[in-house]
Homo-oligomer: A and B are copies of this chain.
Amino acid sequence: MNQSNQEKDHFEKNSLSVPSTHKKRIVVIGGGFAGINFVDKINSNEYQIVLFDRYNYHTFQPLLYQVATAGLEPDSVCGPLRKICKTKKDLYFRMLKVQKVDTKERRVYTLLGSIKYDYLVVATGAKTNYFGNKNIEKNAFPLKQVVHALELRSQLFQLFEKAELRRGTDEVDKLLTFVVVGGGPTGVEMAGALAEMKKHVLPHDYPEIDFNRMKVYLLEGLERLLPAMTESSSESSKKYLETLGVDVRLETFMKDYDGKKAVLDNGEEIYADTVIWAAGVMPNIIEGIEADQFKGRFHVDEFNRVYTTEGQSTYDNIYALGDVAYQVTEQFPDGLPGVAPVAIQQGEYLGKTFNRLAKNKKIRPFNYLDKGTMATVGRNKAVADLPLDIKLSGFMGWITWMFVHLMYLIGFRNKMVVFVNWMWSYLNYDRGIRLIIRPAQKNWEETDELIEKSLQ
């Protein structure tokens, strides 16, 4: 046992400890797209890996809106992280939130102790950004995690039950008004799914409710939907949404929402019991890493190393991936977008780069291969901007969207169950999973605290 490992052992007689080896230890924070793809590619014969996540599962965030709208089970858009980890030998999973990092000591801290790293990979992703508006934070529904999707599902079906019991009163309009804020993929897909439910599912379920009174608004601050896509895709998605009856408002902001009334920047007021906030994200920052940042994201060089000072020096052992990283490339001078494909490719890239380093091979800078962007609005209605200037829409876009999402889902079981659900919904114009198992509470902070407590 060498000096460095004796030192490790001395410090790590705590519940986080992992076996001492001669290998360098890589600590990965976050089991999202970047983290699990890094873990998938890294050669654990060369490195020891310790993966931290506060949940015991990976979430396939692009499909959360389908969980919220009763199209998929929460369980089929999640993959247990221990299952992902068990394919590798010297890989350890710790279901713990990392509290802070000490970059001098090279050590990460949790509530249950600390652990030393040789390399640190920060892949903590992003969370909902309310831009400081406490009212909106308190009253609107975000859609970044499984608990959010479940709370929103409960909220929707509680409201429909309530609307039926209140039929004939004015209260019904407020119960059946849904304001979706943010015209990115999440907002577009959520608004589309609500409008489809209004058309195909709800009138059969609640024959006593007059669903002409149900209104879905989609607000976007910029002058077009899906600003990251081509203009023709933006236009198609708007057209699809309007065909489904969604009231799309461009260049419109929501200023405030008290739980009852949404106030727009043009002064208009919309009475709505449900606002879904998909208007922005911000990185999950870990305390203790001094670095150059852009909008809270760690500025990284072309090898995904975190800059200590912009454009000058980087940490030699701290890397950032995915939504928490800000990386400028020739093609993307304003930084790579915060989307799943970037996180996936950066994770794979960094894993392979470490493997090359271990073999003393030359390493290459990260190169993002843009395979295209897509969004689905509803049944047979999707838009896709693919490479070589290929644009798909309608049925072809929709099939492509389904195929790509199935492909990237973690695990064969999930793929099968999602496929069955999609075929079922398509053939039967149905959404099978409309259960109110627990009533909506919006207590996600409490949930996180309880998970932490449960381990103590």
Contacts and interface: CB of A to CB of B under 8 A. Distances in A.
A130 interface: no
Contacts of A414: 432
A147 to B, nearest CB: 6
Interface stretch (A77-85, A185-193, A213-221, A388-396): A77-85
Contacts of A438: 147, 438, 447, 450
A56 B447 contact: no
A56 B161 contact: yes
Contact of A413 (B57, B94, B96, B420): B420
Contacts of A15: 165-167
A437 B208 contact: no
Contacts of A439: 447, 450-451, 453-454
A206 B82 contact: yes
A31 to B, nearest CB: 12
A48 interface: no
Interface stretch (A68-76, A237-245, A248-256): A68-76
Contact of A86 (B112, B205, B433, B435): B205
Interface string A410-453: 01111011001100100000101111111111000001001101
B435 A75 contact: yes
Q: How big is the A interface, by class?
A: 35 or more
B82 A150 contact: no
A158 B112 contact: no
B420 A424 contact: no
B80 A434 contact: yes
Nearest to A157: B56
Contact of A454 (B92, B158, B207, B453): B158
Q: Most chain-B CB neighbours within 10 Å: which of A162, A165, A416? A: A165
Contacts of A16: 165
A55 interface: yes
This chain: copies in complex: 2
A161 B95 contact: yes
Interface in A9-60: 15-16, 55-57
B162 A455 contact: yes
A417 B413 contact: no
Nearest to A455: B162
A146 interface: yes
A421 B56 CA distance: 20
A158 B420 contact: no
B434 A454 contact: no
A114 to B, nearest CB: 13
A138 interface: no
B207 A80 contact: no
Contacts of A112: 165
A200 interface: no
A106 interface: no
Nearest to A96: B165
A260 interface: no
A405 interface: no
A56 B440 CA distance: 14
A56 B435 contact: yes
8 contacts: A75-B75, A78-B435, A83-B430, A158-B454, A161-B455, A413-B430, A413-B432, A438-B438
Given A82-B434, A420-B420, A438-B450, 19 more contacts: A15-B166, A55-B435, A56-B161, A56-B434, A57-B437, A74-B435, A75-B75, A75-B432, A83-B430, A94-B165, A95-B436, A413-B424, A413-B432, A417-B417, A417-B420, A417-B421, A439-B447, A439-B453, A439-B454
- Please name the 10 residue pairs, one residue from A and one from B, whose CB atoms are nearest each other, closest first: A439-B450, A82-B205, A15-B165, A73-B73, A73-B75, A413-B432, A75-B433, A57-B435, A95-B161, A158-B454
